[in-house]
């Protein structure tokens, strides 16, 4: 086993989001929508029906004026690894429309296989999965900006953040064409990472010591969301504020933050 591991080190793409830097500006959300042909409707204020692969939550420490504090938390798909790739959504899909890619660690969603049973939405503890209740409609002429790299989803299927997997494919094709087999860190970046005006998002291979995320994930202020469910997500957050780290999981009053946090790698 150990030998195998040394011979074939799989990639494990992940993200570290610095909440001290995040300004909640929403550029990541719009960059994601523009990159991934995400549709929109006239009224998007019912957030249970609004398809946004990446959503920003506004956390509040709940204290009265002027002790109040707020923090923004961008939430893409957490790309759970679970145990050996058994992420919550992958395990329940009856259509094999979603799977865990052992090569990259990315949880995929294959729209043409999905028949809309929405088990995965029920299984996902992060609400990252979204159902298309309507066919997408663009105002006349606006479909011109749609990207050919990402298929447009139809009514009746579930969609979610793919870590811009099409960018991985494009980068890999380019590398292969140039006779390379390995991608440099900057060759594959998600749209939200690239857009972030605050440089709050860092993306890379969590298994690769040369990538920035490798060090960042070990920051003592790093945490993951609902870690104790055993979902083993690949999105890490950094905050220097204790109340923000506590907001990442359902802690009991007497529990210390991050008590069960370690154990990844």
Partner 1 sequence: MKIDRRSFLALTAGGTVGTALTPLPWKLTDDISIWSQNWPWTPVPPGGEATHVNSTCTLCPAACGITVRKIDQRAVKIEGMAGHPVNDGGICILGVSGLQLLYGPSRVKTPLKRVGDRGAGHWQPISWDQAVAEVAQKLGELREKGEGHTVAAICGSDRGTLPQLFSRLLTVYGSPNFFTLPTIHDTYAMTLGLMQGGNPQAGFDVENTDYLLSFGSGILEGWGAPVRMFRANSRWRSGYGKVVQVEARLSTTAAKADRWMPVNPGSEAALAMGLAHVILREKLYQRDFIKHHTEGFDEWQKGVLAGYAPDAVAAVSGVPAAEIEALAREFARARKPLAICGRGQGNTPGSLAESMAVHALNALVGNLQRPGGVWAMPEIEYIDWAEAEMDALAVAGLQQDRLDGAGSDGFPYAKYLPNRLVEAVNSGQGYPLQALLVSGANPCYSLADAAAVQKAIAAVPFVVSFSSFMDETAVNADLILPNHTNLERYEDVPTPLGLTRPIIGLSRPVVAPQFNTRHTGDVVIQIARAIGGTVGSAFPWPTYEACLQMTLAGAWGPLNRDGFWEVPGFQPADWAHAFETASGKFEFTNAAITSLALSEPIVLPGDEKAFPLLLMPFDSMRLTNGWIGNPPFMTKAVDDTVLKGDDVLVELNPQTASSLGLSQGQAAELQTPVGAARVRVNLFEGVRPGVVAMPTGLGHTAFDEFIAGKGVNYNMLAGPVADPASGLDAAWGIRAKLTKA
* Smallest separation (angstroms) from partner 1 to the CB of 131: 11
Calpha distance 67→166 (Å, rounded): 44
Alpha helices in the chain (DSSP H): 2-7, 27-35, 88-92, 119-123, 165-177, 191-195, 212-216, 242-246
- Structure token pair of residue 120: 């995965």
* Smallest separation (angstroms) from partner 1 to the CB of 263: 28
* Smallest separation (angstroms) from partner 1 to the CB of 8: 32
* Smallest separation (angstroms) from partner 1 to the CB of 176: 17
* Smallest separation (angstroms) from partner 1 to the CB of 16: 14
Cβ-Cβ contacts under 8 Å for 47 (sequence gap 6 or more): 55
* 8 Å CB contact between 257 and 242: yes
Nearer to partner 1, 220 or 263 (CB): 220
Calpha distance 60→68 (Å, rounded): 7
Nearer to partner 1, 56 or 171 (CB): 56
Among 33, 264, 14, which residue's Cα sits nearest to residue 147? 33
* Smallest separation (angstroms) from partner 1 to the CB of 7: 36
Nearer to partner 1, 27 or 123 (CB): 27
- Structure token pair of residue 55: 């959503």
Query: Exposed, middle or buried, 1 (CB in 10 Å: 0-12/13-18/19+)?
Result: exposed
Calpha distance 73→198 (Å, rounded): 13
Calpha distance 202→189 (Å, rounded): 9
Q: Which residues face 204 on adjacent strands?
A: 14
Nearer to partner 1, 103 or 199 (CB): 199
Nearer to partner 1, 135 or 255 (CB): 135
* Smallest separation (angstroms) from partner 1 to the CB of 159: 12
Among 55, 73, 62, which residue's Cα sits nearest to residue 19? 73
Nearer to partner 1, 49 or 260 (CB): 49
Nearer to partner 1, 36 or 78 (CB): 36
């Amino acid at each position: 086993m150990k030998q195998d591991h040394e011979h074939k080190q799989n990639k494990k793409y992940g993200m570290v989001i610095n909440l001290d830097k995040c300004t909640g500006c929403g550029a990541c959300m719009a960059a994601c929508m523009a990159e991934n042909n995400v549709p929109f409707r006239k009224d998007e204020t019912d957030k249970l029906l609004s398809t946004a692969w990446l959503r920003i939550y506004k956390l509040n420490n709940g204290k009265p004026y002027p002790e109040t504090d707020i923090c923004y938390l961008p939430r893409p798909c957490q790309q759970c690894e679970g145990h050996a790739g058994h992420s919550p959504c992958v395990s329940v899909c009856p259509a094999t429309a979603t799977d865990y890619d052992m090569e990259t660690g990315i949880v995929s969603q294959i729209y043409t296989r999905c028949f809309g049973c929405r088990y995965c939405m029920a299984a996902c503890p992060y609400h990252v999965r979204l159902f298309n209740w309507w066919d997408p409609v663009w105002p006349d002429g606006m479909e011109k900006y749609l990207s050919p790299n990402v298929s447009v989803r139809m009514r009746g299927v579930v969609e979610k953040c793919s870590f811009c997997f099409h960018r991985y494919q494009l980068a890999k094709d380019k590398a292969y064409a140039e006779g390379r087999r390995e991608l440099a860190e900057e060759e594959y970046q998600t749209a939200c990472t690239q857009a972030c005006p605050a440089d709050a998002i860092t993306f890379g291979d969590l298994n690769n010591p040369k990538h920035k995320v490798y060090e960042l994930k070990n920051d003592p202020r790093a945490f993951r969301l609902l870690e104790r469910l055993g979902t083993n997500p690949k999105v890490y957050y950094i905050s220097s504020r204790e109340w923000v780290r506590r907001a990442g999981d359902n802690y009991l009053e007497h529990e210390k933050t991050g008590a069960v946090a370690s154990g990844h790698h």
